[in-house]
Amino acid sequence: MTKRNMISTLLGSVIGTALEFYGFMLFAVFMETIGKEFFPTHNEMQAIMFGSLAVLAAFIGRPFGATLFGYIGDNYGRRIALILSISLMGIPTLIIGILPGYESWGIAAPIILIICRVVQGLCTGGEYNGSAIFALEHIGKNYPGMFGGLITAASVLGALLANSIGIYLKQPGMPDWGWRAAFAFGVIVSLVGLWIRLQTSESPEFEKLKKNKKIEKSPLFSAVRNHWPSSITTIITGTLNGILAYTLYKFLAVYLVRWFGYSETEVLKLANFGIVIYIFSAPIMGYIMDKTGTETYMKRACIFICFAAIPMFYLFQLPSLATTYMAEALLAITVASIAGPEHAFIQRLFPVKDRYSGVAFNYCIGMGIGGGIMPWVLLYLVDTVYALDCPSLPFDIKTLAFYIPSLAIIATSIVSWIAIRHISRTYLAIQKEDEADLGE
């Protein structure tokens, strides 16, 4: 593989996932504004919840996109699937940017908005894991954790860009339609990503599979039927990453604004600080996994998350900006401990012939649970418990409410630790299967 092709492959992977994060985060950044624009209500909490429906719609679309693009990627090539996904990604982003609100189009406006979010989810389902599979199959066995971490870290630049645009457009005096221009900008990013991806070559492992006529006609069925332990592990890992990542990206913003008096601009600046920490931490965590071994590292990461969850939310409650930034840094490192090495970890759970479908579909199911459902369930639980009045209890139930997210993170990390045990046996079986299919 030439140096030029390597650079094109990495850039194509980064730009594609950066666009995904830009579109997803942009919607999250302006969720309250979009909620009021398309779901008219005078209740702030209802506006947030209505906006979250559109966020959830994208997560619902992801498994269907993973099924579609996974089939294309496992049957016709990773490159074809990724070119299609990034080509389609910019269309719903543009439509959201120019779509009239409820006052102009009535019920049609929120319906079209939800459809656009579902289409974004479809594309994302094929993009995020597919681009990492494509890149790591090109890179080979040299530091897959570190390179996977670099891909993840670089893609989060899209989230950083979305937050930065949000900080700028939410300043006093900015036009009400400013958020629409931010969505329209996503089309430019999509076109740049498409041009770069057209310069890439197909994955060498897929080429060997095709040459040996070992293409799996029903890759998703094969992945779920023949590699169900890998499927379960991937779902659980995706759930853990989802709840951690979307706590960093969005849940925390609502949490701090609603109960601790922070402004939207302040929490966006805080989120940018956390994202910068995350960008540097992800490849470092991947490198550590390369050096210590996958099973050992991932189990230690789950233990670290368990011990970090409660101190992290304790620091967020203290009336000090310094401790809030300390907690944000700890949260960013916690997210990076899983998200950084996850591509290299998950990819080896499936053979080449059903890897795209197996990884993408199961991971999207997990992300839908952890990132699409759990943050809003937790938000509802915190809001409900905080409103309770129980003077007879020996502790302050309002304080307990703020630790509900910690308990959810601890429970999910324990389940992940159980799933990851003895993963080396799975890796060995998958390696033997690949050797037979690829003629190695």
Structural domains in the chain (count) = 1
CA distance 31 to 366: 23
Q: What is the per-residue pLDDT for 5?
A: 67
The answer to whether the beta carbons of residues 204 and 137 sit under 8 Å apart is yes
Q: What is the biggest distance separating any 2 CA atoms in the chain, rounded to whole angstroms?
A: 72
Q: What is the per-residue pLDDT for 290?
A: 93
Residues 6+ apart with CB under 8 A from 192: 15
pLDDT at 224 over 60: yes
pLDDT at 124 over 60: yes
pLDDT at 397 over 70: no
**CA angle centred on 38, ends 37 and 42, rounded to 5°:** 65
Give residue-wise pLDDT tens across range 4-28. Answer: 666 767 777 777 777 767 876 787 7
pLDDT at 257 over 90: no
Q: Where are the alpha helices (DSSP H) in 140-251?
A: 144-155, 157-169, 178-198, 204-211, 219-226, 228-246
Q: Where are the alpha helices (DSSP H) in 76-107?
A: 78-98, 102-105
pLDDT at 377 over 60: yes
Q: Which two tokens stand for residue 310?
A: 């409660």
Give residue-wise pLDDT tens across range 194-212. Answer: 888 888 888 899 999 999 9
3-state secondary structure of 214: coil
pLDDT at 439 over 70: yes
Residue range 105-118: mean pLDDT, rounded: 88
Q: What is the per-residue pLDDT for 277?
A: 94
Mean pLDDT score of the chain: 84
CA distance 374 to 205: 36
Q: What is the per-residue pLDDT for 9?
A: 75
**Greatest mean pLDDT among 170-174, 202-206, 242-246:** 202-206
Task: Give the total residue count for the chain.
Answer: 440
Q: Other CB atoms closer than 10 Å to residue 228's CB: what's the count? A: 11
- Cα-based distances in Å from 376 to 230, 239, 342, 373, 403: 28, 14, 24, 6, 15
Q: What is the per-residue pLDDT for 128?
A: 84
pLDDT at 50 over 80: no
Q: What is the per-residue pLDDT for 103?
A: 84
**Backbone φ and ψ of 349, nearest 5°:** -80, -15
Q: What is the per-residue pLDDT for 343?
A: 92
Q: Which run of H or E residues covers position 301?
A: helix 294-317
Q: Other CB atoms closer than 10 Å to residue 399's CB: what's the count? A: 11
pLDDT at 223 over 70: yes
Residue range 223-235: mean pLDDT, rounded: 92
Residue 388 pLDDT class (50, 70, 90 cuts)? low
pLDDT at 420 over 90: no
Q: What is the per-residue pLDDT for 172?
A: 79
- Cα-based distances in Å from 114 to 43, 108, 153: 21, 10, 29
The answer to whether the beta carbons of residues 52 and 34 sit under 8 Å apart is no
Residue 91 pLDDT class (50, 70, 90 cuts)? confident
CA distance 391 to 333: 38
Residue 259 sits in a domain whose CATH number is 1.20.1250.20
Q: What is the per-residue pLDDT for 227?
A: 92
Predicted model pTM: 0.86
Domain that holds residue 204: 3-438
pLDDT at 361 over 70: yes
Residue range 259-277: mean pLDDT, rounded: 85
